[in-house]
Structure 1
Amino acid sequence: MTLNHLNLTVTDVAEAKGCLETYFGLRSPEGVEPDDSFAVLIDDAGLVLTLMTVGRATEVVYPPSFHIGFIVENEGRVNELNEQLKSAGFDVKPPRRFHGAWTFYFKAPGGFTVEVQS
């Protein structure tokens, strides 16, 4: 059995999509046109991540510990992404050693939390 995809409910599909493309290398597959309520993103390892709006609601409420995580090649890349996000205006705390990894978390546009670690 293979996991087919993950879906995130977000408050703004375009903003969430832009963040994931800009900082994490996800991209829309050829022939799939995103719209204001739905987008498909893929990566080189076969991940399929869909983003969908919350309908008429204006807020997404995930449990406090819910997040998606990205592993990068080394601590230097964690630091680099942290600085890029901070420079772009995201509220990001400095990376720290946590659960055996060099990591940080931040709230992405759309209302979900992202962890970056090496």
Structure 2
Amino acid sequence: MKLNHINLYSRDTDADRAMFEQYFGLRTLVVRGTKMTIMQDDDGLVLIINHFDNKLEGFDYPAQLDILHIGFIQMSRDAVDALYQRLIGDGWNVQPPHETHGAWAFYFRAKGGYFIEVTTLTPVRPEEAYENKPQ
């Protein structure tokens, strides 16, 4: 299994985006105003920096809105479902898989309090593609 992404809360997504580009070489893939920036490193790891005051256009985070999470990518919907069944079978309290932001995914809370997302690839809508121009 491959670690797919890290999602961090930011009080200033524009400043953090500039820092990650300038000092760490991340590429910006998507900018959603001041609410979210999606970036990627040279190995494909995705870093999401967000400033969500509440749910963003139906982006279905767990009800507690604890948005700090790490994400693991699965290559198919069947693989997501299989891991869900394994976790349920081992007694974990897991949100059922569902369609969210263009992918098939579920969340569950780790013992440490943060969330883990298990998801298929999330498509980037063409209108969101970032081309180094102001938003």
TM range (shorter): 0.3 to 0.5
TM-score, structure 2 normalization? 0.41
Larger gyration radius, structure 1 or structure 2: 2
TM-score, structure 1 normalization? 0.47
